[in-house]
Amino acid sequence: MAVQSLYRRYRPQRFSELKGQEHVVRALKNAVINSREGHAYLFSGPRGTGKTTTARILAKVLNCEKPIEGEPCCECGSCLAVQQGNSFDVIELDAASNNSVDDIRDIIAAASLGSPGRHKVYILDEVHMLSKKASAALLKTLEEPPSHVVFVLATTDPEKVAETIRSRTQHLQFHLLPIDELEAHVRWVVADAGIEISDEAIYAVLRQGAGSARDTLSALELSAATGGVLDEVTPVDEFVEAFIQFDAGRLLAAVANTVNFGRDPRTIVNDLVRHLRDCFLTQMAPQLVQLPESRMAVLTTQATHLGTPRIVKIIEGLGLSMNDMRNAPDSRVVLEVALVRLVHRELQTGVESLLARIERLEKELESRPTFAPAPVNPVTGKAVLGGRAAQDPSAPLVRPVVAPTPVVDTAPVVSGVGSAEQVAATWSTAVIGQLKGMSRAIAQMAKPIDRDGTLVLLVDNDPSAKRVSDNLPQMLGVIHQAAGGVCSVIVETRLAEARSAPIVRPDLIAEEDFIDPDEVKALPTISKASLKNELTDAFPGSELLSEEE
């Protein structure tokens, strides 16, 4: 078999051979039969749906020596010349590369010259790529076309074609092929060309073709050449699985693999968006999804796991990354950042995700048993409200966390027995007021109380307790000064539950432990910087990923 691509070999030569564009075929055949062909057509539709093929068939039949009911004979000299691409009556131009005003002027100049056939057919592909000036020149010709000239303007993006041009054309829209029609076509080609291929491979081919006859036959050819093995060029399922798992590493690995296979980051984004759109449609309008049933089931499962709001969010995020890529020197980096952002809950912006983030961090801080875990109720498995207080109604609503044995200053700064009560009463002036820098800030985290002569430094949570106790050696001198002698000091954490739960029983709380809301308000606030320090302290080995507040 001569080396000829399946797409070329099975390219339709007559209107009747075109797949899935019946409305276009009907309009054109009728026009030809009645000799009422237009001077300018606009063919729009996705790539690979047969726009230029149809334009060539039109050119062929308009110049055919023996047309049969609106179809070319495909045997006469003119038909064969068009088929071989050497007809003087058909001029094909790609507007993407011939988009200057000079190019168009050349066309116009040539258009007025005669040619061997009855009609001169200009096929301008990707006409939306024409420059403004070139569009203006084309428009002039369309306004007063030479009688024997037919323009066929093809585009994947009709919205970008100037309205003035569009309004002077007959606009015919091409559609992607329904999956069953495409499948029938592929099976016919497979049988006709004697290709051996499994059903699974045919489905993979159809999936990759995504409704485009040209892309489908290209995929079939590749599949046949590799013995039915067809790598998905973009492993969309792998990407979606990684999204479902919130797995940034897996996403980056998928990008690396795909890029290594020569796939451009922009194309990856397009493939992903197309796939996610299908996922979305399985939930909203399954009848619009053009996929074989087995594949449809896979997408439905993916969509269920992702959830519609998240699918929409990912599509939006990918769309934004597409914009960013336009000006970025390295589009792969843009893609990677976008993907990581989409799975990293911390990096998502917006008030809602920020609140969720704070809530989660707070929970983690509270539940983390940095030192001694709170007593647990064996029945409920939950921390016992009040800790020790639950066993001893007279005990304050606190639990000891850092220094179960009193920390006693051994430095001979002061002598005699100090008064914890006095320290507690004068804490802000005699202690905080005397400390400097970090120690001062840390002392502000503690609420001092006197418990039977022992100075108890109450803090809000375990990380604060650790900081205070770590800094005790720097504070003890001042504390003992304030106490007028040596006193025992312990650091305790208020139970997290006690802070948030309204079910605190006042009768269980010693008076000095009762938290007066006004007093809480008057407590010094912790700076954002120290909050960050706390967070990073609370998660050893962690690093701050975002400075967002």
Q: How far is CA 546 from CA 211, 334, 459, in A?
A: 42, 17, 27
Q: Is 467 within 8 Å of 445 (Cβ atoms)? A: yes
In whole angstroms, the minimum distance from the beta carbon of 289 to Zn ion comes to 41
Instruction: Give the Cα separation of 5 and 7 in Å (integer).
Output: 5
Q: How far is CA 392 from CA 58, 92, 378, in A?
A: 96, 94, 18
* Three-class secondary structure of residue 90 per DSSP: strand
Q: How far is CA 464 from CA 9, 102, 185, 494, in A?
A: 76, 75, 71, 11
Instruction: Give the Cα separation of 249 and 404 in Å (integer).
Output: 43
Among residues 13 and 156, whose Cβ is nearest to Zn ion?
Answer: 13
Among residues 60 and 447, whose Cβ is nearest to Zn ion?
Answer: 60
Chain-centroid distance, C-alpha 73: 51
Among residues 75 and 199, whose Cβ is nearest to Zn ion?
Answer: 75
**Region of residue 30 (left: phi > 0; alpha: psi -120 to 50; beta: else):** alpha
Tokens representing 297 are 């089931």
Q: Phi and psi of 535, rounded to 5°?
A: -60, -45
Among residues 64 and 432, whose Cβ is nearest to Zn ion?
Answer: 64
Residues 6+ apart with CB under 8 A from 490: 400, 402, 403, 404, 406, 407, 454, 455, 456, 457
Residues 6+ apart with CB under 8 A from 454: 406, 420, 487, 488, 489, 490
Among residues 76 and 273, whose Cβ is nearest to Zn ion?
Answer: 76
Among residues 11 and 440, whose Cβ is nearest to Zn ion?
Answer: 11
In whole angstroms, the minimum distance from the beta carbon of 301 to Zn ion comes to 52
Among residues 68 and 531, whose Cβ is nearest to Zn ion?
Answer: 68
Instruction: Give the Cα separation of 299 and 313 in Å (integer).
Output: 17
In whole angstroms, the minimum distance from the beta carbon of 293 to Zn ion comes to 43
Sheet strands side by side (includes 447-451): 398-400, 489-494, 454-459, 447-451
Q: Phi and psi of 202, rounded to 5°?
A: -65, -40
Among residues 64 and 150, whose Cβ is nearest to Zn ion?
Answer: 64
CA R_g for the chain: 38
Among residues 71 and 513, whose Cβ is nearest to Zn ion?
Answer: 71
In whole angstroms, the minimum distance from the beta carbon of 111 to Zn ion comes to 23
Among residues 87 and 444, whose Cβ is nearest to Zn ion?
Answer: 87
DSSP calls for 313-360: HHHHHHHHHHHHHHH-S-HHHHHHHHHHHHH-GGG--SHHHHHHHHHH
Among residues 48 and 72, whose Cβ is nearest to Zn ion?
Answer: 72
Among residues 150 and 334, whose Cβ is nearest to Zn ion?
Answer: 150
In whole angstroms, the minimum distance from the beta carbon of 4 to Zn ion comes to 22
In whole angstroms, the minimum distance from the beta carbon of 61 to Zn ion comes to 8
User: Which residue, 225, 183, 230, 179, is CA-closest to 204?
Assistant: 230
In whole angstroms, the minimum distance from the beta carbon of 65 to Zn ion comes to 5
In whole angstroms, the minimum distance from the beta carbon of 80 to Zn ion comes to 8
In whole angstroms, the minimum distance from the beta carbon of 118 to Zn ion comes to 12
Q: Supply the angle between the helices 265-284 and 308-327 in degrees, to the nearest 10.
A: 160
* Three-class secondary structure of residue 52 per DSSP: helix
In whole angstroms, the minimum distance from the beta carbon of 68 to Zn ion comes to 9
The two beta strands, 447-451 and 90-94, are unpaired
In whole angstroms, the minimum distance from the beta carbon of 59 to Zn ion comes to 11
Summarize as ranges the residues that interact with Zn ion (CB under 5 A). 64, 72-73, 76, 79
In whole angstroms, the minimum distance from the beta carbon of 28 to Zn ion comes to 16
